[in-house]
């Protein structure tokens, strides 16, 4: 099988990707690359450019992932700026912004972009609807302690722990990718 790399500097994200893809017989290696991330309101455009840049650096088949938390009452914020917002204000800042807001609906979206020698990235999208919790719950990384996916029994991704991958936006995108990759 062709070697496949996942370009990321996030070991937690790599661990999730590795576990999910292994269920489909896809082996992936982590590679840390300094990728320039374009600023855009479009997650697909960001992921596409990252995938092209990753392939240009590696010259190997590669996937990248970009994701965002889109909160309805905040007009989709933080959306494609989720990583920056997390680094600057974190979950506590999001919860502060949400104080007094009753509409807590949100969507967590993941885009897996695959690129090989044809330099035309293919996109695989996963979305999970849910809500933003009132408080930080559970121990985990990223927005997992404040995102309550639909059909989780009211638990945040963090409270779901290892069961998170059963309901994750990333899993939905990776499943699509793995099925396509197996046929490739």
Residues identified as active-site: 66
- The count of other CB atoms within 10 Å of the CB of residue 142 is 20
Does residue 173 contact residue 125 with C-beta atoms inside 8 Å? Answer: yes
Place of tokens 């990235």: 121
Q: What is the C-alpha to C-alpha distance for residues 156 and 50, in angstroms, rounded to an integer? A: 29
> Degrees (nearest 5) of the Cα angle 149, 150, 152?
70
Strands in the chain per DSSP E: 5-7, 29-31, 62-71, 78-79, 105-115, 122-132, 147-149
Place of tokens 């889109």: 70
DSSP 32: -
Round to whole Å and give the CA distance between 55 and 3. Answer: 13
Rounded to whole angstroms, how far apart are CA atoms 58 and 65?
Answer: 16
């Amino acid at each position: 099988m062709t070697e496949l790399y996942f370009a990321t500097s996030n070991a937690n994200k790599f661990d999730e990707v590795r576990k999910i893809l292994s269920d489909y017989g896809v082996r992936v290696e982590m590679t840390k690359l300094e990728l320039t991330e374009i600023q855009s309101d479009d997650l697909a455009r960001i992921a596409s450019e990252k995938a092209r840049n990753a392939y240009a650096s590696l010259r190997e088949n590669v996937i990248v992932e970009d994701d965002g938390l889109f909160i309805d009452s905040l007009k989709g914020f933080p959306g494609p700026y989720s990583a920056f917002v997390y680094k600057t204000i974190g979950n506590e800042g999001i919860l502060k912004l949400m104080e007094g807001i009753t509409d807590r609906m949100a969507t967590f979206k993941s885009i897996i972009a695959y690129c090989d020698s044809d330099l035309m990235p293919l996109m695989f999208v996963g979305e999970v609807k849910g809500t933003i919790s009132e408080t930080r719950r559970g121990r985990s990384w990223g927005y997992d302690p404040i995102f309550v996916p639909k059909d989780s029994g009211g638990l945040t991704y963090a409270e779901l722990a290892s069961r998170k991958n059963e309901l994750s936006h990333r899993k939905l995108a990776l499943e699509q990718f793995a099925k396509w990759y197996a046929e490739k």
